[in-house]
Structure 1
């Protein structure tokens, strides 16, 4: 796929003003907020905190427009390394998919907000000491350096995970079962080079080709489907998982888990076990003690080489960034369905499958520049992935302290970052020397997504990841308040390693 990249820089599109976005899953994809260029700005100051009183009773606030030169106050989660970092080096053995600024003048707030939802606004309280731009740049680089995976740790972890996954794959391919034809597909943050802190989480996809399937949309999000066979040949092993004419995700995942548990018992040279099943999860999770614990998610995926579903027609908006030809070629690749069930009342609809484009996301992250040479040895270094890592880390650390943030995940950060990259497509807008302002601008963008309750799925435009049906307003307000405090105080949470 490397030769798909466009060599010429895309023209910078005129940035529309941010609009109030709908909160429904079918929200207008054009209503994404815009944070402006990542170039250095003069004197951007934080707006006083707007969250006052108990968040559970706070009336709905209107959307706030983001204007150049004025910063909105609030954001977080991450992993990429700074120029010349070891992260830019390919992982040792690419087999299992490892699960894987603010302006110097911004005023600070000295007192941390309360951990409870009713934390008061910090506006008007004593400000934290100002930090010079150089000092702040130095701090960000120190954080990125600590987040960078260590070569020796990568080598040990990858070797152990490869050995376990290879054993699983070989045994599945040899035994007579419905999964005899599975193949491995490397996805996840480790192979995207955005894994942070430690190589202790891996995602490994076991794909199974299923020709001639028909998809029936389950709800109006465009993400969940019933899978049916257009024609079921006699002897089709997957016919065991049919409920009527629908391929049951729950039944198929249950059998997949059963086989993995049997194979794991055969492994004697590594301390590995199968974790308990998590409701709604599409993965079978292995726990390896090496002696440090490593979590490996084995994800079953159906591979379809047909045309992408109609709901994705307006998705993947990379034309002005990576180019129309690259987009066309990517859409000719297979798409995948994972046994992630749609929510149904207080439970899940066990027959449903969810679309997955993790393989395409991996390509985008590895080929992220408008110029083909971006971040290559002889090319100019950008800070796109560094900003992604910092924000992932911010969210990760906040989630450790506040259970109210459980609904959020790193995929929200990655999706918002993809949209930001399409709005700021030029490599010069992400110059590594401007990581301070680039990081701050992305935080403002992410904050506006939270405030407007609108984060459009990058591949499925009518699927709003921040809809009320998926994440309640109180949780989004709470994250806004925590990001506001961190941003105003130069991210004290970054010092908690």
Structure 2
């Protein structure tokens, strides 16, 4: 359906070049294309920008001197990503103990014009000319409707509906901030083993990939533990037993030792007990502590007013020593973000959360699991080979759009099928990190080819399910899709559902 650029009449060709317009017949300007492996390479101009109205009609209006440059400025200033407002980059540093709005408000100059043809109508000097402009406007509306019905348009429409509403973000942030700050302050001011905890915000909300509603938050309460020794549990690479190299007199954590081993279950149990005591003292908010989930490292708060909000408070041990040997070949970003970036990130602390290793149908209560959520958050915010990727004024990509769409697809499928309970958004995030590693160039994630990029990611994810192989991004020998963690029947069921959605235009996306 790409429109063809019309040759101007012979009478216009005699005019000086300075007075010729560089706009198309609909008043738009062709934008440069950066097609990569996710879409066919195009020429210097994108035909998609020319398709506004009936492509068989000849131009009915002529741009006056000065009009073309004005429109070029408007269109350049209105450029946004596939999801709307460009996101600000994040830097690897300790965040203040507060929830910040992850998406800055759009400035007026970033808003696209409502109707590109509107200025022509306003300046029309004759009745006939104004009538033609109105006809073009109607054609423009029709073409936009047709675009929404294409695979590309449908996905962009879904992303638009998944954007967090600013008013809800503000309300949720205020409520969560108030409660988390209060718990942190009380914990610091009481004589307990956790009086030195600090806050670290993690999870999809702070990674700016949260979808639908700001109703889930992950907050780490980190506790630095110097001079620890790790003993790998059953060659997993991910689970460890923690020992102290030397236990100084008066070490408050000595209460949680079982022999030489720091018991994760004992420490988490005490942590939960203190939080429950402090929550009981909160009288001005409707908040409670949910029942403990077997194997979960989090103490989950449920806030019921003004809307239901779930807050996972995760206890984490912070170690500033070298990363464990099991991570040596992990974080494969050398050909993507570079050797210097990988070296810098590996100098950051790593964390251990009280996650019990599964042994048959039971859990090992002493184990801790490695966590690199702070590194994942940094990568998601600094994901381009170009440093300005997705910054205001920078070139956009659709990496995070593909992640949001796949997260939403899995979320909707899990609502309908209990067979998918074993799958989680971390599987999606791990898979797309590998996908970005294999396709590192920004041009391979051109937002103009969102549909093709998303389809390539779905194929990659399905391949991981078929081969039963999804290796942890930081721990290459830890397979998240192993038989021990997820049975083959569940993986085959998810393959079937994903393929059905792909082949039928994602009918589940229409169930809002």
Q: Is TM (by shorter chain) over 0.5?
A: yes
Gaps of 5+ in 2: 1-35, 43-79, 103-145
Q: Does 1:305 align with 2:308?
A: no
The alpha-carbon distance between structure 1 residues 85 and 393, as it changes in their structure 2 partners (threshold 3 A), is same
Choose which of 277, 285, 289 in structure 2 pairs with 1:262.
277
Q: 1:224 aligns with which of 215, 226, 239?
A: 239
Looking at structure 2, the residues matched to 373 and 98 of structure 1 have their Cα atoms a distance apart, in angstroms, of 21
Q: 1:455 to 1:136 in 2, by over 3 A?
A: same
Per the alignment, residue 433 of structure 2 pairs with 418
- SS at 2:414 equivalent: helix
On the 8 A contact 1:97/1:190 being kept in 2, the answer is no
Report deviation, 1:136: 1.5
| Deviations 1:364-402, CA, capped at 9 Å, x for gaps | 000010100000111100000000000000000000000
What is the alpha-carbon distance in structure 1 between the residues aligned to residue 489 and residue 449 of structure 2?
Answer: 33
CA offset digits 1:418-469 (Å, max 9, x no partner)? 0000000000000111101100000000010001110010000000100111
User: What does the per-residue CA deviation read over 1:1-59, in whole Å, with 9 as the maximum and x for residues that have no partner?
Assistant: xxxxxxxxxxxxxxxxxxxxxxxxxxxxxxxxxxx9312399xxxxxxxxxxxxxxxxx
Gaps of 5+ in 1: 1-35, 43-80, 100-130
> Which residue does 1:153 correspond to in 2?
168
8 Å Cα contact 1:97/1:205 also seen in 2: no
1:450 aligns with 2:465: yes
1:236 aligns to 2:251 (yes or no): yes
Deviation at 1:93, TM superposition (A): 8.7
- The residue that corresponds to 2:84 in the other structure is 85
Query: After superposition, what is the alpha-carbon deviation per residue over 1:141-163, rounded to whole angstroms, capped at 9, x for unaligned?
Result: 11001111010000000010000
3-state SS of the aligned residue for 2:315?
A: strand
Distance 1:337 1:97 in 2: 25
Matched, 1:181 2:196: yes
Q: Distance in 1 between matches of 2:223 and 2:206?
A: 21
Aligned to 1:78: none
- Say which of 489, 493, 496 aligns to 2:504: 489
1:351 aligns with 2:350: no
Contact 1:98 1:202 in 2 (8 A): no
Deviations 1:336-378 (A, max 9, x none): 0000100022210000000000000000000010100000111
1:95 and 1:162 in contact (8 A); partners too? yes
1:292 deviates by 1.0
**Which has the bigger relative contact order, CA under 8 A and spacing at least 6?**
1
Cα root mean square deviation, aligned: 2.2
Q: Cα deviation per residue 1:113-169 (whole Å; 9 max; x = unaligned)?
A: xxxxxxxxxxxxxxxxxx989721111111001111010000000010000000000
Distance 1:340 1:96 in 2: 25
The superposition leaves residues 183-224 of structure 1 with CA deviations (integer Å, 9 ceiling, x where unpaired) of: 000111001000000000000000000000000001122000
Partner of 2:483: 468
Whether contact under 8 Å (1:178, 1:237) holds in the other structure is yes
Taking structure 1 as the reference length, the TM-score comes to 0.76
Residue 162 of structure 1 aligns to a residue whose secondary structure is helix
Contact 1:388 1:413 in 2 (8 A): yes
Task: Give, in whole Å, the separation in 2 of the partners of 1:84 and 1:444.
Answer: 22
Contact 1:98 1:203 in 2 (8 A): no
CA contact (8 A) 2:83 2:163 kept: no
1:97 positional shift: 9.0
- 8 Å CA contact 2:223–2:316 kept in 1: the answer is yes
Runs of 4+ in 1 over 3 A off after TM superposition: 81-84, 89-94, 96-99, 131-134
